[in-house]
Amino acid sequence: MEAPKQEVLTAPELPPMVLMLPSPGMGHLIPMIEFAKRIPLHQNLHITFVLPNAGPPSKAQTTVLQSLPNSISHTFLPPVTFTDLPPNTKTETLISLTVLLSLPSLRQTIHSLSVSHTITTLLVDHFGTDAFDVAGEFNLPKYIFYPSTAMSLSLFLYLPRLDQEVHCEYRELTEPVKIPGCIPVHGKDLLNPVQDRKNDAYRTVLRNAKRHSEADGIIENSFLELEPGPIKELQKGKPVLYPVGPLVNREVEVAQAGPNCSECLKWLDDQPDKSVLFVSFGSRGTLSSNQTIELALGLEKSEQRFLWVVRSPYDKVVNASYFTAESDSDPFDFLPNGFLERTKGRGFVTSSWAPQPQVLAHGSTGGFLTHCGWNSVLESIVNGMPLVVWPLYAEQRMNAVILTEGVKVGLRPNVGESGLIERQEIASVVKCLMEGEEGKKLRCKMKDLKEAAAKTLGENGTSTNTISKLALKWSNSNKSNVTN
């Protein structure tokens, strides 16, 4: 009689997981989420967002994270506290410090998650490179998700060399800075935090920039037709570049957004085709009191239809709400007397927020006055929307250079002798975009970019295939460490 076969015991293979660690700020979280949502479409990978914070999670964070599919989970690390920091510490430093002080909690989280999953990769953004130290302890491949342009990524990689070669402030240079593969850019248009080399923001950016070369790969939220020069140049060297853009969120839960949201969309429904200029400076951008008045009077003087998301002004910095609570003041109180009455019917003004994806996709919207945040730029491109560019902070001036001098899909108003963009200039540029010959040319060029974006995100598009290859790579990582 044949002896019964012995059952061969095998170690269970834990399902693979990718950890994604965005630094604080919805502008960092949203594009990383859009990337994460596409990963499980290609491989059976679970994704966990690990979120450092300097306080309790914001309502915006929790709302967007709770709406994600089951294949994407999240965990908030214990909030960190800042001690002995000067009161004028820059935002970039606070962001990077939040990650640095969260590393002990990150280490514990990886230990905990490793019980149920094989963690194959740690993905951080450009302010999270301190987490590379923890990735090294666990022998994890480390990747950077760069949420902005390939041009500003090129600056990050070039900055350590530039820091050694240039001895004055970059804005004092008489010749444009020649970043490899990029159109020349004046020093005054480089990233905000590198404009003062003596402050903490510059040291923070430089420290993170130096660590970019340690990454196993950099995932870039752009695409070849939009930035051919920098992407081709970056692909020649290391780290390996993975262009996956344009990644944007095209869905908003209008029913949960409040009455103003529905009202502005209803108002758009009643406007002529391509007739409305959408005016928004993102979730964090603020203007001064005087600039708010000039913008209002410029929109009025242009005689064009407009939908304006107005915020309470702030006279000190242009990203006032990044680490602070929203102002309790009514933004309408800062508008010129009689402005709302004089523009009634032709203009719609809403406070603080509007469903940007729906507004840009609406048939009545014909242009976008934007602060040039990269999320907003990419949303404009996928909707074929020509631009008036009004950069405020971060890398937005570099973005404006790409849009006006590179792909040439935007107009940039000039700053007057007063230090403000004055009403007459605003009116002139808005009118040119909405009904002038130059505006028509910009619209045609943006239409070409829209088609290229749709193609690269299509079934066999370059970005789609790149994401598929990354997903396969990450799902197979560390399998050699599992006993079969």
Looking at every residue in the chain, the average pLDDT score rounds to 91
Structure-derived torsion over alpha carbons of residues 399, 405, 409, 415, reported in degrees to the nearest 10: 70
Per-residue pLDDT at 83: 84
Collapsing DSSP to helix, strand or coil, 97 comes out as helix
Domains of the chain: 16-245+457-481 (3.40.50.2000), 256-454 (3.40.50.2000)
What is the C-alpha to C-alpha distance for residues 157 and 145, in angstroms, rounded to an integer? 14
Q: Residue 197: exposed, middle, or buried by beta-carbon count in 10 A (0-12, 13-18, 19+)? A: middle
Q: Residue 345: exposed, middle, or buried by beta-carbon count in 10 A (0-12, 13-18, 19+)? A: exposed
Instruction: Provide mean pLDDT across the span 267-281.
Output: 97
**Tens digits of per-residue pLDDT, 38-64?**
997 777 899 999 999 999 998 889 999
Residue 1 pLDDT exceeds 90: no
**Tens digits of per-residue pLDDT, 210-261?**
999 999 999 999 999 999 999 999 999 999 999 999 999 866 544 345 555 6
46, 74, 125, 371: which is the annotated catalytic residue? Answer: 125
Per-residue pLDDT at 333: 93
Residue 406 pLDDT exceeds 90: yes
Helix (H), strand (E) at residue 410: strand 410-411
Are 197 and 162 a contacting pair, CB within 8 Å?
Answer: no
Q: In one letter, which amino acid is 187?
A: G
User: For the chain, what percent of residues have pLDDT higher than 70?
Assistant: 90
For residue 40, CA distances in Å to 211, 237, 290, 468 come to 29, 29, 48, 9
* Residue whose tokens read 């209002």: 296
28, 74, 126, 212: which is the annotated catalytic residue? Answer: 28
Instruction: Provide mean pLDDT across the span 413-418.
Output: 96
User: For helices 437-456 and 374-382, what crossing angle results, to 10°?
Assistant: 90
Are 247 and 31 a contacting pair, CB within 8 Å?
Answer: yes
User: What sign for the dihedral angle of Cα 248, 254, 260, 263?
Assistant: positive
**Tens digits of per-residue pLDDT, 453-476?**
999 999 999 999 999 999 999 998
Q: Known catalytic residue: 200?
A: no
Q: Known catalytic residue: 273?
A: no
